[in-house]
Structures are given as structure tokens and as C-alpha cells.
């Protein structure tokens, strides 16, 4: 196994890596401990942090567990210092609802394109991943949104599964963290398997490996109560939301023992989930770029992409938008997090309010049903 095997990518580091991490065993000497800023957050070199998360040495498993904790911080007593942090974070990432007029002004003369993460953005986070349903009201809102703007769902889930939750044929879907992209069915007919062209599957050669690793992970983790392995086709999720914290170490060992044999796979983290995926340079940011290109906006200055997501994997897309200097990202979070998003929304209900306002703005500005002449 090489050093590149299983490291948390940059996007897994967030400001919510809190004092717990500063005190953790990743940093074995006082001199190594990262400085804690006045706000209680950590300012450390990302490179050093990533180095410490490499798991190719047996002693590093603690780093995994600390990283699992850091990626799933427990919130929080409202101490004065936390409230101060919250206020200063909100100054930097104001509510997209409060800033609606400014956002619309910035989009003037440009084609808005909408990118929506699924879990934690369109549906609330729940214990059982198979029951992460979106509400009827949210579905209606997204349906209306897609009449106004080209709209894509970008999810870590298997594309078919996220489609089963969303059930809107008129959208683009990028499943498996963007490694499985499909366009809408022309003419708005039903989304039928095989009835439209696959636009992009950059990790197809990994399918047999992912299936193999899925079976091994199922077997290995079955002794850990609450652990759940989800096959997301081009990537895998090992959920620990329902695993007692004292068992996280054991679970990390089990996962490590499987993937150490697969140098072409890497580990990332989401909300109480370990995600195993191919090492290829493809992520939600690349998927966003691919979709913009497919929509005919490759080198356009008159496009305004808006990406809404709640998780670390969404940071890849926020970063691309910052680099392109186009549109912006909106992070769905109640708590301060290190993010490349420009704005924030607290929870899926606020996402729905924001999407409804966009639809309403389009209706009022352009009249009628707002069946807009999109480029697709
Ligand atoms: O990119 P996303 O659409 O946000 O998918 C990321 C992961 O979402 C799901 O897990 C998360 O939501 C579950 C249901 O609320 C929750 O139980 C879990 O703890 C969260 O991590 C999905 O099950 C994963 O496969 C996705 O990778």
C-alpha cells in the first residue's frame, strides 16, 4: 500500500474540527498540537493534517477515529464564545434568504443553472439512509424550479437510488459523487432505465472492484452493531450514525483491513459515513463542470451556477465556482464550518424557501408559468 492510498482529501477538513481534535492522539506531542484560534477553531496546515490522517501505519487508526469525530461534531452548548463564532461566521456566509435581492442582482443577464445535493439539502438527515425521503412540497418546488432553470441533482448516492427518492424525469442526475451522470429524458417522459444516453461514467472500470469490496465490507462489519454498508455503484458508504462511539475504532479497523488491499481506492468522509471511492480525479466539482459543458456553457461568461449542499464532498463544487468566479455555493448548515460556499441556509426547509423565491422571482419577472427557454 502506498502513501497515497487512503487519505482524507482536502475537502474533508473543516473548521468544525474542534478542540477535541486539538487534544487528540493524532498530535502526539504538545509541540505538534495545532494552535486553537480565539474562536476555538483550529488553524493548522492542511497538508500536515492530511499527512497525519494517512492510515498506512497501524498506529494511525486513532487518526481515523478522530477524523470520524471531527466530521461528525456534536453540537453544542450555546456558550458566549460559540455564539460569537456563529455571528462572525454568519457575517462571512450570510443567509441566502436574507441576501436574495443581491443574489438576483448578481445573476442579471445570466442563465442561472441549479445544482442540488440530496441528503441534508433536499431531505433531512435521518438514521436510516433508505428512509431519507423528500417531502411532497419539496418535490413540487424542485419540479417548478426545473421549469425555470436547468437543474441537476448531485449526490453521493447511487444515481438510480437518488432518482427513486426525487422522481423527477426532467432533471440531470449525477450519482456516486458525480461519477455517474445522466441527462433528463427528452420530452419530459418518464425516466426509464436505458431510455436515454449515459452522459458520463468515468469510473466504470472500477465496478468489479467496488462490488468485491462491498461484499468484503458487508462480511467484515457485520459484527459491529449499527454499521451499515451501502453500495452506491461507483463508490461505497459505511455508515456509523447508529454505531456506538466506543465501537468506532473497531469499525475503522474493519474498514481499513479491507481497503488496505486496494490501493486504487481512497477514503473520504461525510456526515457519519466513511466513503470509499476510486482514486480517479473526479468529484462533484468535476461533475458540475461536465454538466455546464453539456449544457453549452463551457466558456460562457453569461452563466450563473448555483450549487447548494451540506457536506464536505460538496466543497469540491463550491471550490470550482470560486475558481471560475461564476455563481456561488450555498452551504446548508446550522453551525460554522470551513467552507468555500459564499452563503448559507440552515436546513432543507430553508432550501425550499430559497428555491420557491427563485421560482417566484422568475414568474414575476418573466410572466406566466415561467416555462423558460433553457438551452436544453
Ligand atoms: O451527496 P449526498 O446526496 O449528500 O449523499 C451523501 C451520503 O448521503 C447519505 O448519507 C447521509 O444521509 C443519511 C440519511 O439521512 C444519513 O443516515 C447518513 O448518516 C448521512 O451520511 C447516503 O446514505 C450516503 O450513501 C451518501 O454518500
| ipTM value for the complex | 0.99
Contact, 95 vs 88, CB < 8 A? no
d(CA 339, CA 297): 25
Choose one of 273, 275, 312 to mutate for the ligand 1 pocket test, by most ligand atoms within 8 angstroms of C-beta: 273
Neighbours of 39 (CB within 10 A): 16
d(CA 103, CA 121): 19
232 lines ligand 1 (CB under 6 A): yes
Q: Which helix (H) or strand (E) holds 181?
A: strand 180-182
Buried b (16+ CB within 10 A) or exposed e, 347-371: ebebbbebbbbbbebbeeeeeeebe
State the pairing for strand pair 180-182/172-175.
antiparallel
Give me the phi and psi of 243, to 5 degrees please.
-100, 135
Q: How far is the CA of 38 from the centre of ligand 1 (A)?
A: 32
Closest atom of ligand 1 to 241 CA is 19
Q: How far is the CA of 128 from the centre of ligand 1 (A)?
A: 9
Query: Which CATH topology does 83-202+282-367 take?
Result: Rossmann fold (3.40.50)
Q: Which residues have a Cβ under 8 Å from the Cβ of 337 and sit 6 or more positions away?
A: 14, 15, 16, 331
Is 3.30.70.1020 the CATH classification of the domain at 205-278?
yes
d(CA 104, CA 96): 11
Choose one of 68, 116, 119 to mutate for the ligand 1 pocket test, by most ligand atoms within 8 angstroms of C-beta: 119
271 lines ligand 1 (CB under 6 A): yes
283 lines ligand 1 (CB under 6 A): no
What is the per-residue DSSP string for 287-355? HHHHHHHHTT-TT-SSEEEEEEE-SGGGHHHHHHHHHHT-SEEEEE-SS----S-SEEESSHHHHHHHH
Neighbours of 115 (CB within 10 A): 26
Closest atom of ligand 1 to 271 CA is 21
Choose one of 135, 153, 156 to mutate for the ligand 1 pocket test, by most ligand atoms within 8 angstroms of C-beta: 156
Furthest-apart CA pair in the chain: how many Å? 65
Q: How far is the CA of 362 from the centre of ligand 1 (A)?
A: 31
129 lines ligand 1 (CB under 6 A): yes
Q: How far is the CA of 110 from the centre of ligand 1 (A)?
A: 32
Kindly give the confidence (pLDDT) of every residue in the chain, 376 residues in length, as a single tens digit, with 9 standing for 90 and above: 323 222 233 233 222 222 222 222 222 222 222 333 333 233 333 344 334 344 444 447 788 888 888 776 665 566 777 777 888 889 999 999 999 999 999 999 999 999 999 999 999 999 999 999 999 999 999 999 999 999 999 999 999 999 999 999 999 999 999 999 999 876 543 334 445 566 899 999 999 999 999 999 999 999 999 999 999 999 999 999 999 999 999 999 999 999 999 999 999 999 999 999 999 999 999 999 999 999 989 888 899 999 999 999 999 999 999 999 999 999 999 999 999 999 999 999 999 999 999 999 999 988 755 444 443 3
Q: Ligand 1: which residue has its CA nearest to atom 10?
A: 129
Query: What global pTM score does this model have?
Result: 0.83
DSSP 37: P
Q: Edge-to-edge strands of the sheet including 265-270?
A: 228-231, 236-239, 273-278, 265-270
Domain ranges of the chain: 83-202+282-367, 205-278
241 lines ligand 1 (CB under 6 A): yes
Q: Which three cell numbers stand for residue 200?
A: 458520463
Q: Ligand 1: which residue has its CA nearest to atom 6?
A: 156
Length of the chain: 376
348 lines ligand 1 (CB under 6 A): no
Amino acid at each position: 500500500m502506498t502513501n497515497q492510498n487512503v487519505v482524507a482529501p482536502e475537502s474533508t477538513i473543516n473548521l468544525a474540527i474542534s478542540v477535541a481534535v486539538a487534544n487528540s492522539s493524532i498530535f502526539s506531542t504538545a509541540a505538534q498540537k495545532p494552535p486553537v484560534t480565539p474562536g476555538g477553531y483550529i488553524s493548522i496546515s492542511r497538508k500536515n493534517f492530511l499527512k497525519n490522517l494517512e492510515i498506512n501505519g497501524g498506529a494511525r487508526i486513532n487518526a481515523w477515529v478522530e477524523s470520524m469525530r471531527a466530521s461528525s461534531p456534536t453540537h453544542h452548548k450555546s456558550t458566549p464564545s460559540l455564539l460569537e463564532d456563529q455571528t462572525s461566521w454568519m457575517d462571512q456566509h450570510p443567509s441566502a434568504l436574507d441576501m436574495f435581492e443581491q443574489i438576483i442582482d448578481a445573476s442579471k443577464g445570466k442563465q442561472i443553472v441549479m445544482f442540488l445535493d440530496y441528503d441534508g439539502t433536499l431531505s433531512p438527515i435521518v438514521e436510516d439512509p433508505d428512509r431519507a425521503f423528500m417531502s411532497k412540497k419539496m418535490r413540487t418546488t424542485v419540479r417548478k424550479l426545473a421549469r425555470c432553470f436547468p437543474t441537476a441533482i448531485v449526490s453521493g448516492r447511487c444515481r438510480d437510488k437518488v432518482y427513486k427518492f426525487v422522481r423527477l424525469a426532467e432533471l440531470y442526475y449525477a450519482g456516486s459523487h458525480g461519477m455517474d451522470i445522466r441527462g433528463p429524458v427528452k420530452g419530459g417522459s418518464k425516466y426509464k432505465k436505458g431510455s436515454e444516453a449515459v452522459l458520463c461514467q468515468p469510473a466504470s472500470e472500477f465496478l468489479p472492484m467496488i462490488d468485491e469490496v462491498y461484499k468484503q465490507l458487508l462480511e467484515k462489519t457485520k459484527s459491529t452493531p449499527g454499521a451499515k454498508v451501502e453500495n452506491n455503484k461507483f463508490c461505497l458508504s459505511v455508515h456509523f450514525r447508529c454505531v456506538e462511539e466506543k465501537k468506532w475504532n473497531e469499525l475503522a479497523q474493519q474498514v481499513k483491513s479491507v481497503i488496505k488491499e486496494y490501493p486504487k481506492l481512497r477514503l473520504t468522509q461525510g456526515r457519519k459515513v466513511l466513503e470509499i471511492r476510486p482514486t480517479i480525479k473526479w468529484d462533484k466539482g468535476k461533475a458540475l463542470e461536465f454538466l455546464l459543458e453539456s449544457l453549452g456553457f463551457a466558456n460562457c461568461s453569461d452563466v450563473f451556477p448555483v450549487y447548494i449542499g451540506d457536506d464536505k464532498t460538496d466543497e469540491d463544487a463550491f471550490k470550482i465556482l470560486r475558481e471560475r468566479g461564476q455563481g456561488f455555493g450555498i452551504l446548508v448548515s446550522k453551525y460554522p464550518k470551513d467552507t468555500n460556499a459564499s452563503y448559507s441556509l440552515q436546513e432543507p426547509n430553508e432550501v425550499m424557501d430559497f428555491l420557491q423565491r427563485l421560482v417566484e422571482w422568475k414568474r414575476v419577472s418573466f410572466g406566466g408559468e415561467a416555462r423558460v427557454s433553457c438551452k436544453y
